[in-house]
Amino acid sequence: MRNKSVLSEAKQIQLASELIKLGARLQVLEANSNLSRERLVKLYKEITGVSPPKGMLPFSEDWFTSWQPNMHSSLFINIYKYLTSYTDTHGIEAVIKGYKLYLEHIEASQLDQVLSLTRAWTLVRFIDSKILSLAPCSQCAGDFVVHTLELHSRHVCGLCNIPSRAGKTKKYSQVIASETQQLSAA
């Protein structure tokens, strides 16, 4: 029988609890804590009141390079890079702190949340494994997420060159229709 540190286990439970509250999937919890799958499932149910979602994690690097997800992913990864470069925060702690700062920015800017914690964690893994990287925009000089193997010498970000269909979602259409009705009624 091996000796378990009560303090170490408490830290693992605290970390797993924080990840669950931020919306992490079970696979993220397993990869970042020493707790057994059974304990993590019980903890997940206790915190959320439901069983953890089943299925595989999203694994498409292309998602991070499409227009809206690219803006949110680039925002998060720049926050993450800043934290790891200028503070003593690394690993999952940097992901958590970076994600919380991302959420604060999204809320302050009154934007829809596009990036989940699981996707943010996956993005960090893609960047670390060099599947994705950051490239500066040739117009605004901001760093944006790109495929590592693509040419980036004249990269123009999605903010400097907004696609014609950008922002034309169902929600956007409903807001425009509502505003049009209000204007015609007045």
The pLDDT tens digits of the residues spanning 66-123 come to 889 999 999 999 999 999 999 999 999 999 999 999 999 999 999 899 999 999 999 9
Same-domain pairing of 75 and 158 = yes
Same-domain pairing of 73 and 151 = yes
Residue 41 pLDDT: 93
Same-domain pairing of 32 and 104 = no
% the chain with pLDDT above 70:
85
Q: Domain for residue 186, yes or no?
A: no
| 13/31 Cα distance (integer angstroms) | 14
| 182/186 Cα distance (integer angstroms) | 6
Mean pLDDT (the chain) is: 86
Q: Domain for residue 33, yes or no?
A: yes
- What single-letter DSSP state applies at residue 61? G
Same-domain pairing of 82 and 166 = yes
Residue 93 pLDDT: 96
Q: Domain for residue 40, yes or no?
A: yes
- Report the pLDDT averaged over residues 130-145: 92
Q: Domain for residue 127, yes or no?
A: yes
Q: Domain for residue 139, yes or no?
A: yes
Residue 176 pLDDT: 47
Picking from 118, 116, 94, the residue whose alpha carbon sits closest to that of residue 26 is 118
Q: Domain for residue 159, yes or no?
A: yes
> Hunting for tokens 């040739």 — which residue is that?
138
Same-domain pairing of 66 and 33 = no
Q: Which of 100-109, 151-160, 165-174 is least confident?
A: 165-174
Same-domain pairing of 161 and 74 = yes
Same-domain pairing of 90 and 156 = yes
Same-domain pairing of 38 and 92 = no
Give whichever of 51-55, 92-96, 169-173 has the largest mean pLDDT. Answer: 92-96
Q: What's the domain count of the chain?
A: 2
Residue 53 pLDDT: 83
Same-domain pairing of 37 and 73 = no
Q: Domain for residue 143, yes or no?
A: yes
pTM of the predicted protein model = 0.82
For residue 162, name the pLDDT band (cuts at 50, 70, 90). confident
Which one has a higher pLDDT value, 112 or 57? 112
Beta strands in 139-180 (DSSP E): 143-147
Domain that holds residue 39: 6-48
| 176/108 Cα distance (integer angstroms) | 22
Same-domain pairing of 44 and 66 = no
Q: Domain for residue 183, yes or no?
A: no
| 3/38 Cα distance (integer angstroms) | 20
